[in-house]
Amino acid sequence: MRILAIGECMAEMAPTDAPITYQMGFAGDTFNTAWYLVQLSPETPVSYFTAVGDDAISSRMLGVMRESGVDTQQVRIVPNRSVGLYLITLDNGERSFTYWRGQSAARLLAQDKQALAHAMKQSDLIYFSGITLAILDPEGRDALLEAARSARRAGKRIAFDPNLRPHLWASPAEMTENIMQAAAVCDIALPSFEDEARWFSDMNPAATLQRYANAGADTIIVKNGAEAVLYRTRDAEGSVNVPPLASVVDTTAAGDSFNAGILAGVATGRPLPDSIARACKLAGHAVQGKGALVPLDQSLLDNCQ
Ligand code: ADP
């Protein structure tokens, strides 16, 4: 199976020990998932679909993506635009994020409908998130959802993480409405209970699961931090306990790395409970390191077999 992740990758400026000196990296929810996928399943081709500019930082980003093993052949280059940027500020160990992404090329990723359709045609499993939708204008959202709908009709599998980010939307109502439209297009829904409870008033993870099932998803996996992961497929349902951790360093990309574990399992035909257990190990590793992209060591990979 070939996997396509669609979304925005940004330049990241992370603080170092030296005052006012930052270390540059590249990250973004859907890209983080692609990055973990390549490490977990090097035999699975993973491609990223986005738009970048034609400047030096955009080429640098593409270079880093390629070096990490993610295929960038489908990435669109938009002249006179650049990539989005965010800066991390540490205050007593708490990370806060400042973004400059209003004009990023990625906002135009769905403008070329043919390119989008072509990228999906080359793939078997297509993944995007609520953040992918949030950065697009209404026309771009329609184009993305329509392309996903056609791909699904053509037998591709569509995976979606709602990744609710109210500050990226004009209003909570716009966010919840668009998220449920995407839910109606996907086969595999990957919501996180805490966010869903806040914005959809779900009383418990079972209510979140049922809402995505009602929308039309046939596989639903509800993440819930350190609590058990709830799942349902067409013919099975259950929960998988999350292994307890002695310490949590940074929960950035917990959900993104978890999703990589699930998508790798779908690509290789693993039973879902096994994939969830593997996803929990991967996410457990990600939250014990700093930043979004925490390299996997061989013992973890062996442990994930
Ligand atoms: P998101 O990052 O999307 O909000 P969650 O916080 O629900 O997602 O976490 C995703 C996964 O990361 C969980 O299902 C679990 O496997 C792992 N995880 C997150 N927080 C913890 C924790 N405190 N202890 C152990 N595992 C965790």
> What is the residue with the minimal CA distance to atom 16 of ligand 1?
280
- What per-residue confidence (pLDDT) applies to 298? 84
Residue 228 pLDDT class (50, 70, 90 cuts) = very high
Closest listed residue to residue 102, CA positions, set 167, 55, 57: 167
pLDDT at 45 over 90: yes
Mean pLDDT of 112-127: 97
pLDDT at 93 over 80: no
Mean pLDDT of 283-296: 91
ipTM above 0.85, yes or no: yes
Mean pLDDT of 293-303: 86
Contact 88, 14 (CB under 8 A): yes
Instruction: Find the 121 Cα to ligand 1 centroid distance in Å.
Output: 32
- What per-residue confidence (pLDDT) applies to 197? 98
pLDDT at 249 over 90: no
Mean pLDDT of 103-108: 96
- What per-residue confidence (pLDDT) applies to 291? 86
- 154-192 in b/e form (b: 16+ CB < 10 A) is eebbbbbbbbbeeeebeeeeebbebbbebbebbbbbbbb
Catalytic residue among 29, 161, 195, 256: 256
- What per-residue confidence (pLDDT) applies to 297? 86
Residue 231 pLDDT class (50, 70, 90 cuts) = very high
Residue at 67: amino acid letter: E
Write out the chain in H/E/C secondary structure. Answer: CCEEEECCCEEEEEECCCCCCEEEEEECHHHHHHHHHHHHCCCCCEEEECEECCCHHHHHHHHHHHHCCCECCCCEECCCCECCEEEEEEECCEEEEEEECCCEHHHHCCCCHHHHHHHHHCCCEEEEEHHHHHCCCHHHHHHHHHHHHHHHHCCCEEEEECCCCHHHCCCHHHHHHHHHHHHCCCCEECCEHHHHHHHHCCCCHHHHHHHHHHHCCCEEEEECCCCCEEEECCCCEEEECCCCCCCCCCCCCHHHHHHHHHHHHHHHCCCHHHHHHHHHHHHHHHCCCCCCCCCCCHHHHHHCC
Please report the atom of ligand 1 found closest to the CA of residue 163.
3
Assign domain 3-303 to a CATH class: alpha beta
- Any residues with Cβ below 6 Å from ligand 1, and which? 192, 223-226, 229, 242, 245, 248, 251, 254-255, 258, 280, 283-284, 287
**C-alpha separations of 64 from 24, 72, 84, 103 in Å:** 11, 10, 15, 22
Assess whether 256 carries a catalytic annotation.
Answer: yes
| pTM greater than the 0.80 cutoff | yes
- What per-residue confidence (pLDDT) applies to 149? 98
- What per-residue confidence (pLDDT) applies to 300? 83
Instruction: Find the 219 Cα to ligand 1 centroid distance in Å.
Output: 19
> What is the residue with the minimal CA distance to atom 17 of ligand 1?
283
Domain boundaries, the chain: 3-303
- What per-residue confidence (pLDDT) applies to 94? 79
pLDDT at 19 over 90: no
Mean pLDDT of 36-64: 97
